[in-house]
Structure 1
Amino acid sequence: MIATLVADHVRWRRDRRERDRDTLRTTFTEYLAALSTARDAFARMEPSPDRVGKGHVAVGEHGVYAAQQQLELVAQRTLVDKAGSATLSVLDFHDTVVAGHAPDSSEYVRAWRAARQARTALIEEMRIALQRT
């Protein structure tokens, strides 16, 4: 009887870890997809100086904030902080594009690279979190 209880407990813990990992993976994927969709949409925007500083509205329209809030519920603080940095870098990219910087300008390239580097750092943190779970 004790052996059965121990085996059930071990199975329960394994199943719970797997569900937790699946939840994290799904949440990570949804956030990254929303962030990429926003960044790609911003890359196609026309210059519009009156939209500088209003990227938060556009980011919200692409579901980034909703996905980030889900992330805040299930992820550790370091990962949430990196997600915040990734969101801010996409906002900076938005402002660079709508300010009228051409894709071959140093400002555009710098903003694009910063967004890509923030995303890469976030993905690395996500991989670590999934290994820990």
Structure 2
Amino acid sequence: MPWSTLVATAVGTVLGVLATLVADHVRWRRDRSERERDTLRAAFTEYLTVLSAARDAFSRAEPSPEAVGKGHVALGEHGVYAAQHQLELVARRTLVDKAGRATLAVLDFHDAVVAGHASGSPEYVHAWRTARRTRAALITEMRKVLRYA
């Protein structure tokens, strides 16, 4: 048997093994990226859901001057802090910072409502708009992260 046949067979075998390894690596990276995106999406969805539920509950709260400054307790009861901690484990620092600002805006909204500000008052409207604006900024950041994850 000529050497050229043996060399060609060996080279073909090596190239076939290398091609398989490269294809497996590409598939592994793609699967890992999809799992990471799914994890992020689940954490993002959970956080937005509980934050919105808390904000909506706060909008129906009765005035209670003694509750001003105690919105953090209500946020905890709605699971906002647990969802925020989950975000801290899986998301980038910029996104976690925006989530923190959204949480603080909802706390400010809580304080405006329980302080007795009516829904048309400048304090209520300002707090509501700030909560919506920070949530919108957070969603924009979440979409950006999901696009590149």
Using the size of structure 2 for normalisation, the TM-score is 0.89
Q: How many residues align?
A: 133
Alignment of 1:92-111 (within 5 A): 92-111=108-127
In structure 1, give the amino acid aligned to 2:63. P
Give the number of the structure with larger relative contact order, counting CA–CA contacts within 8 Å between residues 6 or more apart: 1
Name segments (4+ residues, structure 1) moved above 2 Å.
Answer: none
What whole-Å deviation, never above 9, does each CA across 1:75-113 have from its counterpart, x for those lacking one?
000000000000000000000000000001111000000
2:5 is the counterpart of 1:11: no
Which of 31, 48, 52 is the equivalent residue of 2:64?
48
Shift of 1:132: 1.2
Aligned twin of 2:93: 77
Residue segments in structure 1 that go unaligned for 5+ positions in a row: none
What stretches of structure 2 of length at least 5 have no aligned partner? 1-16
| Alpha-carbon RMSD | 0.4
Deviations 1:48-93 (A, max 9, x none): 0000000000000000000000000000000000000000000000
Instruction: Tell me which structure has the larger Cα radius of gyration.
Output: 2
Hey, what's the Cα distance between the residues in 2 that align with 1:132 and 1:9? 19
> 1:119 deviation in Å?
0.0
What is residue 14 of structure 2 aligned with on the other side? none
What residue number does 1:132 align with?
148
Q: Which amino acid aligns with 2:136?
A: T
Aligned-pair identity (%): 75
